[in-house]
Every structure is written in C-alpha cells, then in structure tokens.
C-alpha cells in the first residue's frame, strides 16, 4: 500500500533593502526554487525586518515590489509556493509579541547581528533591532517550518528560534515544530570581492565588493577582474587564500565543478584567466534571472495578483497557529 506522506514545510525570508547579491542567491535563493516540488514552501519579503534600519518610505515600497518580482525571476513559482510580503500577514507581528515574552534579554544581547548592527547604526539602536530575532522566530514557528534554507550568517537566529520553541512547548505542551537550518555545503558564506575576510553584503559602501544579481555581464566581468586575491598566483583551495577560495567556491557553484577539477583546469595559468572565467560563469548563471526579471517587471498586475494570493495562503496557516497559541496561553478565543 502506498501512503501519501504530508509534505514537510519550508519557510525563508529576505529583506527588501536592495537588489539581491550573488551571496543571497548562492547562499539562499537558488535553494528555495529547488525545494518547491518536495516541500510545502512559504517565502517572504520581510519588510517588517527592514525597518529596524531607517528606510525612505518610497524607496522601501518600490524595493519591496521589485524584490518580489526578483524572487519570481529566480524561479519561485507562486502556483506552487506561498510567496508573500511579511506585513500583509499580521499574525507574524502578533505572534512576535507573544514570543518576546518567552525570550530572555540575555539571549538577545548575545546575538552577533545585533552587536554588528548596533555598532554600524549607533545613532539608531532601536528596540526593533534588539527584538529582530524574535520576529524572525515568529516567521518560522507560525508555519511550523521543518527546514529553513539560509546562509551561514543566520545560524544563530535559527538556534534562538529553536530555543524559543522548546521553551514555549515545555510550558504549554507540544505546539511548535522545531525548525532546522538548511545551510548549503557550498556557498553558505560568499565573501566580499574587495575584502575576502568580510561577508558579501548589499549594504557595503563599496559597490565593487558585491555582485548584484541584475548587474549586466560587463559589470560582473569588471568586478571579478578587480577581485582581491593574493600574491602567489596558484589557483588552489587552501587556508589563508581567502580571496581565491571565495572565487573557487563561486566558480564551483556556477559550473558544478569540484575544487580538484577547478585546480586542474587552471594549473599553470595565472589568476587573470581564472577571474575572467569566473566572471563569465557567473554572468551566464544569472542570465535567466536577468531576462525573466526584465519580462516580469512590466507585469505589475500579475505581480499584485501573486502577492495578494500569496498572503491569503500564508495567512490561513498563520492565523490557525496563532489561534492555537492564543488558546494555550489563556486568551479568550
């Protein structure tokens, strides 16, 4: 007899604070698309998270819509997955308040992202920046997600989400599924092209340090040609060769090649050739995204229909979880 096992659930999110980088794509988004058949997927543009740093309202609105279209261009299929804008599903914020009462001040103080952002934005260390990981836990737990596909930088936030879930379940009985991070083996932390000891980030002041996934091929080539490497000129993956290791990881993801294969392809050749080939491979990997985005960005009505339907689908699940939580904690439902 064949049993139809229910699909496991996936949730992930991304901030609409600019065009996604190659790091976002390799570390997270490319995996989101590939999980849509096997899992019940929820993917959010997390605009509530974005306002922990001051945003221009018009820019935020435009970027949220552009980023939504960009997710579809990266292969998210709104017929298969709930692709939505976080603020359209108010249950996230409602659960976040409740979970904040199950989160310790000390736990939040230990979050490295809070420490980084509060030193970077020292003029605006707001409470939202501090409680950010609680909202992220709510995003995940409200769908009872089994897996959360993210880059390595989100690991600490996921551990906290699990701790909050365990604490709540211990007090009130089995309620939340304990989520597990799904961190790719290759490319979990794509590094800056100008400082390979720092993470590639779209908020970097130096635009040569990151590749945006909509950069035209000439710009991608230029950025890779300028990428920081080292003074020995041998293409091999080895401790201390941060720049080359990063480029090898990127090239490996873009071509499907292993490190030994890459090392033999470039044996006896200099870095110039390697950087050119990496640029070409990345430009080619991102070509379908660029083309699909150009097509979709004119389809405003279609995009609106997609995010409206995505929010309805997500809200139905989120609302049911919230009601269960209200009941368990003693609210009159």
Nearer to ligand TYM, 136 or 144 (CB): 136
| Residue 196 binds to ligand TYM (criterion: CB under 6 A) | no
Of the candidates 60, 20, 68, 46, the residue with the CA atom closest to the CA atom of residue 299: 68
Nearest residue to ligand TYM, by Cβ distance, number only: 27
Count residues contacting ligand TYM (CB under 6 A)? Answer: 25
Catalytic: 199?
Answer: yes
| Residue 24 binds to ligand TYM (criterion: CB under 6 A) | yes
Residue list 199-258, contact with ligand TYM (CB under 6 A):
199-200
Longest dimension (CA), the chain: 73
Stretch that binds ligand TYM, among 148-156, 239-247, 263-271, 300-308 (CB under 6 A): 148-156
Helices (H), the chain: 22-24, 30-34, 47-50, 57-73, 91-100, 105-109, 112-120, 127-141, 155-172, 217-225, 242-255, 259-265, 271-296, 300-329
Catalytic: 8?
Answer: no
Catalytic residue among 117, 223, 275, 277: 117
Q: Min. distance of Cβ 267 from ligand TYM in angstroms?
A: 28
Nearer to ligand TYM, 11 or 76 (CB): 11
| Residue 153 binds to ligand TYM (criterion: CB under 6 A) | yes
What phi and psi values does residue 44 have, to the nearest 5 degrees? -120, 140
Contact 225, 279 (CB under 8 A): yes
Contact 250, 22 (CB under 8 A): yes
Binder of ligand TYM out of 10, 35, 41, 148 (CB under 6 A): 148
In a 10 Å sphere around its CB, with 0-12 CB exposed, 13-18 middle and 19+ buried, how is residue 332 labelled?
A: exposed
| Residue 12 binds to ligand TYM (criterion: CB under 6 A) | yes
Stretch that binds ligand TYM, among 7-15, 70-78, 270-278, 284-292 (CB under 6 A): 7-15
Nearer to ligand TYM, 15 or 194 (CB): 15
| Residue 194 binds to ligand TYM (criterion: CB under 6 A) | no
Q: Min. distance of Cβ 154 from ligand TYM in angstroms?
A: 4
Catalytic: 202?
Answer: yes
* Rounded Cα gap, residues 141 and 124, in angstroms: 28
In a 10 Å sphere around its CB, with 0-12 CB exposed, 13-18 middle and 19+ buried, how is residue 120 labelled?
A: exposed
Of the candidates 19, 12, 14, the residue with the CA atom closest to the CA atom of residue 66: 19
Q: Min. distance of Cβ 241 from ligand TYM in angstroms?
A: 18
Residue list 42-81, contact with ligand TYM (CB under 6 A):
46, 49
Q: Tell me the DSSP string of 162-216.
A: HHHHHHHHHHHSS-SPPPEEE--SSSSSPBPSS-TTSB--TT-S-GGG--BTT--
Bridge partners of 14, per DSSP, are: 45
Q: Min. distance of Cβ 14 from ligand TYM in angstroms?
A: 4
Active-site residue numbers?
117, 199, 202
Residues that bind ligand TYM (CB under 6 A): 11-15, 23-24, 26-28, 46, 49, 136, 139-140, 148, 150-151, 153-154, 188-190, 199-200
């Amino acid at each position: 007899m064949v049993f139809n096992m229910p699909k496991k659930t996936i949730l992930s999110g991304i901030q609409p604070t600019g065009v996604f980088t190659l790091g976002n794509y390799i570390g997270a988004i490319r995996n989101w698309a590939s999980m849509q058949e096997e899992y019940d997927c929820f993917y959010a543009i997390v605009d509530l998270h974005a306002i922990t740093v001051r945003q221009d309202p018009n820019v935020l609105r435009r970027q949220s819509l552009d980023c939504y279209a960009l997710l579809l261009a990266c292969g998210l299929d709104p017929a298969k997955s709930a692709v939505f804008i976080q603020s359209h599903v108010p249950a996230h914020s409602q659960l976040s308040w409740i979970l904040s009462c199950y989160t310790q001040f000390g736990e939040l103080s230990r979050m490295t992202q809070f420490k980084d952002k509060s030193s970077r934005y020292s003029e605006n260390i707001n409470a939202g920046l501090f409680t950010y990981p609680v909202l992220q836990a709510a995003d995940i737990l409200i769908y009872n997600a089994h897996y959360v596909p993210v880059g390595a930088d989100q690991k600490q936030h996921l551990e906290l989400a699990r701790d909050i879930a365990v604490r709540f379940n211990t007090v009130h009985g089995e309620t939340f599924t304990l989520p597990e991070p799904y961190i790719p083996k290759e490319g979990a932390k794509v590094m800056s092209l100008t400082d390979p000891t720092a993470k590639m980030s779209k908020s970097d002041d130096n635009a040569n340090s990151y590749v945006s996934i909509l950069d035209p091929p000439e710009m991608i080539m230029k950025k890779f040609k300028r990428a920081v490497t080292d003074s020995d000129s041998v293409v091999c993956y080895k401790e201390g060769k941060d720049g080359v290791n990063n480029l090898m990881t990127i090239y490996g993801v873009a071509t499907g090649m292993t490190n030994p294969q890459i090392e033999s392809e470039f044996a006896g050749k200099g870095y110039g050739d390697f950087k050119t080939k990496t640029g070409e491979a990345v430009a080619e990997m991102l070509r379908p995204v660029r083309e699909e985005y150009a097509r979709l960005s004119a389809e405003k009505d279609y995009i609106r229909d997609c995010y409206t339907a995505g929010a309805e689908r997500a809200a139905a699940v989120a609302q049911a979880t919230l009601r269960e939580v209200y009941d368990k904690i003693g609210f009159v439902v």
